Amino acid sequence: MNRILGTICLVSAAAVLPLATHAQAARTPVSATLTAGAAMPMGDLDNFYNLGYGFGGGIEFAPSMLPFGMRGELGYTRFSAETVRGSDGAGGTFSIKPKSSNLSVTVNALLGPTVPAAQIRPYAIAGVGFYNTSEGGSFSGGGFSGSATESKGSLGFNGGAGVRFQFVGFSSFVEARYHHILKGEIEEGDPTDPNATTTWKSAAYLPIHFGISFGGR
């Protein structure tokens, strides 16, 4: 009986081992990510706008045997502000509803410990990208209403950290990342100057996102 049981165990091990090896070898270093969450305006941007939101998606390349990887992302972030109301000086009133948004394409480096059995993995992330910012808003007053928007493309950089929670077949993560856009906010000028041109200054914000990754390590 012992010999029969031993033979069955050996046969079972011989059958399962190649399947496990194949499953390990079939794991790809490429994964897809989806993110969404809140975005906090920072610095001068915080003087005009409230808490916003953002979402995005990307592709990660992270070999399981290396402590670093890469992530390419496409993201959208939007901020809004309280409606500004006042008098136009002629007995009438006006209202202005400002808003700001940007569409970003970034390339980022990931650095974190590679521990296959770990279910919780901290990591750092930093990168550069191109940000297309739109600022403007809607207005009404004096019998007129409408909207206006100015757009500007600019380089920027980001950096932050996150924690990944590993599951079977996918992982989730929470990530906070500071973004600095070299030209991401309209500079205040003299509204009475008809020859004034639109100038832009730097802007910053801090999104805190929840994400899901499919595939990869």
Q: Which helix (H) or strand (E) holds 177?
A: strand 170-186
Return the pLDDT at 11.
Answer: 37
pLDDT digit string (tens) for 67-96? 789 999 999 999 988 776 666 556 556 667
Q: List phi, psi (to 5°) of 51.
A: -55, 130
The three-class DSSP label of residue 114 is coil
Q: Beta strands 120-141 and 170-186: pairing type?
A: unpaired
- For residues 54 and 67, the answer to whether their CB atoms sit within 8 Å is no
Model pLDDT for residues 161-194, shown as the tens digit of each residue:
999 998 877 889 999 999 999 999 988 754 444 5
C-alpha 55/C-alpha 39 separation (Å) is 10
Give the dihedral sign, CA 149/96/40/31: negative
Domains and CATH numbers, the chain: 31-215 (2.40.160.20)
Per-residue pLDDT, 4: 40
